[in-house]
Amino acid sequence: MRRETRLLHYGRPPLPGPANPPVMRASTILHDTVGSFSDTRSKRESDDHVLSYGRRGTTTAHELMAAIADLEGGEACYLFPTGVAALASSLSAFLGSGDHLLVVDTAFHATRTLCDRVLSRNAVTVDYFPAGATDLSAWARPETKAVLVESPGSGSFEVMDLPRLTGWADTRDLVVIADNTYGSAWLYQPLQLGCHVSVVAGTKYLSGHADVMMGAATANRRAAARLREAVIATGQTLAPDDAYATLRGMRTLNLRLERHERNALDLADWFAERPEVMSVLHPGRPDHPGAALWKRDARGCNGLFSVIFKEGFPLNGFLDRLRFFAIGTSWGGFESLALPIDPRKGRLDGHRLPAGPAARFHAGLEHVDDLMEDLAQGMAAVLSR
């Protein structure tokens, strides 16, 4: 069965029945005998889909876990209330006091906050390496236990050569954890490229409608047991209604991403022709340094890209005049967004990016002509002043 068909049939209950699995809200699961209770507690130790207690998910969450694990090509998937929570649990599963973590310097700002402020207090040391590196011997130590990657990079969209990097990590027996929110399990499968855990903020494209907070971490066979232990010990879970909304949103994941990609590429090309623009950062454009790598390893792009304008361009005034691009920190929903950013911040080789006012755009599902007209009127308004 092809992936597009599987998307529509994840969790389908026996017929006659509803198209989507029903929402099951429950904390306590009742039994009529002590034997049944004991049998369930025994079975859940080797089967995450056993209905035993609300903290371990109800059948609604179980179906979503199975769906994401299948999309990622992993052994097991676990759900969390946010993407950052999924990342924090994944790191805690493999790191302890005295350990060392290597993090790509293009990581999402919340990831850096987690590493610099929380892991450091727990005596985990962190070093950053540039996204272009595949042999991390210069940064590794005897106490290095894990590597955290994100491709494309957050805001600046550097593409990593994950097969080469994970090949190096295997020689050191290091766990590689990937933030796969950009690829959202549909466009990109880090586990198939040698990573051990793939984390997705389902707040973005999986749910797709800007109304759900959730995260997921999917592990391969080597990493699944350690991740499972950390999840159960810390009581991580996802509310049934959010699990339902995410699974329902995933039915159209492929179609939405196709439209996001087309709109984003058209808008990126529009910006590239503007004399006010120095650089357009989009991994799907032929002029992107990582375009060949991304084409090799991924199935397409999403709706994100960044634009670096020439010095003196009135960026905030431009963004303020846009009608269809709201100012917002998230992305992956149906709506178009824009946000001022500094793509050079925190990069070890940030100097390679041109200096200038920059913005990250998310191309939503609106008609692309309306989006282009909006950008044109905003540009005309600030340039006429």
At 366-379, the pLDDT tens digits run 999 999 999 999 99
Domains of the chain, residue spans = 3-250, 253-383
Longest Cα pair distance anywhere in the chain, in angstroms?
78
Task: Identify the pLDDT of residue 300.
Answer: 98
pLDDT digits (tens, 9 = 90+) for 232-287: 999 999 999 999 999 999 999 999 999 999 999 999 999 999 999 999 999 999 99
Confidence band for 352, pLDDT divided at 50, 70 and 90: confident
CATH 2.40.40.20 for domain 3-250:
no
Residue 365 near residue 256 (C-beta atoms within 8 A): yes
Domain 253-383: homologous superfamily in CATH: Aspartate Aminotransferase, domain 1 (3.90.1150.10)
Task: Identify the pLDDT of residue 351.
Answer: 65
The whole-angstrom separation of Cα 158 and Cα 25 is: 42
Fold match flag (3-250 vs 253-383) = no
Residue 152 in tokens = 């494309």
pLDDT digits (tens, 9 = 90+) for 4-43: 999 999 999 889 999 999 999 999 999 999 999 999 999 9
Task: Identify the pLDDT of residue 349.
Answer: 72
Cβ burial 325-340 (10 Å sphere, 16+ → b, else e): beeeeebbbebbbbbe
The whole-angstrom separation of Cα 133 and Cα 162 is: 10
Confidence band for 384, pLDDT divided at 50, 70 and 90: confident
Q: Which residues contact 372 (CB under 8 A, 6 or more apart)?
A: 266, 267, 270
Whether cis (ω within 30° of 0) applies to the bond prior to 16 is yes
Confidence (pTM): 0.96
Confidence band for 350, pLDDT divided at 50, 70 and 90: low
Residue 127 near residue 139 (C-beta atoms within 8 A): yes
Q: Which residue bears the tokens 């009608």?
A: 323
CA dihedral 304→216→191→135, nearest 10 degrees, is: 70
